[in-house]
Amino acid sequence: MPDQTLTFTPDQLELLEQVRQQQGLESIQQVAEWLAKQALRKHADRAPGRGRALVLVQQK
């Protein structure tokens, strides 16, 4: 999966740092990944049909 470059404002970085500390993560990159996964889970829960499972797919 290709890396995506994100640019944050100082206010956004401050908020990400707060989340990093709350979640015990080591880097802002981990925070961005964690937040993206949380958003995906939230939206998957809203998908119609039976319960949806998010499973990490390993690249070959």
* pLDDT tens track for 28-48: 999 999 999 999 888 877 776
Number of other residues whose CB lies within 10 A of the CB of residue 57: 7
Cα angle 41, 45, 47 (rounded to 5 degrees) comes to: 115
Q: What is the pTM of this model?
A: 0.65
In whole numbers, what is the pLDDT of the chain averaged over residues? 85
Residue spans of the domains in the chain: they are 7-60
| Beta strand extents in 1-60 (DSSP E only) | none
Residue 51 has pLDDT above 70, yes or no: no
